[in-house]
A and B are shown apart, each in its own frame.
Chain A
Amino acid sequence: MLRARTARDLLLSGFALVPAVLLALGCTDDENKGYAPSNCKHSEPTTGFLRVELTINQTNHRVPLTIFEGAYEEGKVVLRDTVDVEDVSYELRVGKEYSVLARYISGRDTILALDSESLDVASDEYQDATCYYVEEGKADVRLHD
């Protein structure tokens, strides 16, 4: 939730709209990238890393985690894990959208935190080659009060 926003921030938010649109319409990608770096991947990767952020606290020191392919109702479970760290990464196939579900206890309530992220391949064009990479996927299933 956004809280304690000042009048100045609100005013600047409004004023920012005009150049934001102008910049969005006016930008062109004419950057000369030069030659490909030595770590360039010349073929499309088939897997990438999905980073998952969790909340670990006194009540939830080990958090059950499930990763689904697609929406979680579709039930295509890719992996299950129980995690005791706040930041963890899993290597998964690219070109798919994943839903991450973490289960927390909060007082007498159970909180099922859900987020989704896709792992997509992108590329950079250089003068001598095309380099492929996987855009970082980050799922945030921390507790947000």
Chain B
Amino acid sequence: MPVSTSSAGLPLWQRRTTAAQWLRFAAWLFGLCLFLLCWKVISDNTMWVFVEDAGRQGSDLLRRMLPPRWEYAEKLWRPMWDTLNIATLGTALGVLMAFPVAFLAARNTTPHPLVRSLALMIIVSSRSINSLIWAMLLVTIVGPGVLAGIIAIALRSIGFVGKLLYEAVEEIHPTPVEAISATGASRLQVMNYAVLPQVLPAFAGISLYRWDINIRESTVLGLVGAGGIGLALNASINSLAWSQVSVIFVMIFATVIVSEWVSARVRRAMI
């Protein structure tokens, strides 16, 4: 009971029982200890000498980055185009692959529970591995270049699009499905006329949202050799040309802002 009585016999209000209070205290204490332990591990692995002059390093870095060497921007149009292609083609390819996977993973459209768990496994493994790791793998397989980037983005997108889409499929209204099946429609026809029209808007929105994320992710894929503006970034950093790095940062910032705006506008127009 969260009510206790004072010594004078008057009831006092208390939010929690004593046991609950102790439990909360123990949980917070445990959390704090865990945090401090983790902090100790990090602190042991850190060279504090380097951290001490971080301010100097930071201001030094800033001085080298400013002013940006704007002439360099002319050389960046081609890498930028490659980056956009990686994001767009990768999203398209990923969405194409995610589409069937999502229908196999949704509880109401899957042909068999075993197929469902397989589809869920594809989604989870695609989601838990970062696109940079996919890119590293693919660079060793198909060689450095834009193709590796496209496939990496596609493989990463399967999980994201697949997960959101299968949740949308599971939330559809059952009445149209029943109505269409009552006309004697086959499984595929039910899919086409009852399920698909209900999830198509969600599907388009999810794809655009992922495209927007993919633009952001494709800017760094070049760091591991998978093409795009990341290659230029990597080259500039390796040659310590920080004034070029700042130009690249400005380009990335502008592209991401514009793509976010475009994706938000188109999504609003559709819904």
A and B form one complex: no
